[in-house]
Amino acid sequence: MKRPKENFDSLPKDYAALCRVLPPRPIHNQSDFRDVTRISDLLAGHALSTDQEDYFDLLCRLIEDWEKLRIPKSRTTGRETLEMLLESHQMSAADLSKILGVHRTLGPMILRGERKLTLKHVKTLAKYFGVSADALID
């Protein structure tokens, strides 16, 4: 995989060029997963061109397909799923607070089970991680 500089501005704006950075294909292993999430993380939270939006949506679907196979639906709570997502993206409770755009103490409180995710939080996290909102709801 051709590795871009680690910032949004270095990513191409058109679909074909994005595909040269990372060809979108099914995720087969943890290395593929890291590559796809690295690029999707660079795109997340930015104003995207139409081509970038299409490419980001496809990457999110690939991530969702991969995680569906690895997150047992019947035995995991929304909080456990969130913990797994954060771990797989090497993110902390403080990062969770940043994603949600809330006070820095809310992320740790959610992970300790002291606070519940709101519907707005679930929607934000589902979009950010490219997973179904159902995975984050108990």
What are the tens digits of pLDDT across the range 53-98? 999 999 989 988 888 777 655 567 889 889 999 998 899 999 999 9
- As a whole number, mean pLDDT of residues 96-124 equals 90
* Residue that terminates a domain, selected from 70, 96, 122: 70
Tokens linked to 58 = 């496809």
Contact 21, 2 (CB under 8 A): yes
111 has pLDDT over 70: yes
Q: Residue 85 sits in which domain range? A: 74-138
Same domain, 85 and 52: no
Same domain, 1 and 63: yes
Position 49, amino acid: S
- As a whole number, mean pLDDT of residues 25-29 equals 90
Contact 106, 97 (CB under 8 A): yes
18 has pLDDT over 90: yes
Same domain, 128 and 91: yes
Number of domains in the chain: 2
pLDDT given at position 132:
84
CATH of the domain at 78: 1.10.260.40
Same domain, 34 and 56: yes
User: In which band, very low, low, confident or very high, does the pLDDT at 13 lie, cut at 50, 70 and 90?
Assistant: very high
CA dist list (Å): 26 to 69, 99, 111, 126, 137: 12, 26, 30, 20, 26
Same domain, 64 and 80: no
Same domain, 44 and 83: no
Is-above-0.95 flag for pTM? no
pLDDT given at position 8:
85
Same domain, 123 and 100: yes
- As a whole number, mean pLDDT of residues 32-46 equals 89
Same domain, 41 and 99: no
Same domain, 82 and 58: no
pLDDT given at position 4:
43
For 110-129, the DSSP string reads HHHTSSPPPHHHHHHHHHHH
pLDDT given at position 32:
92
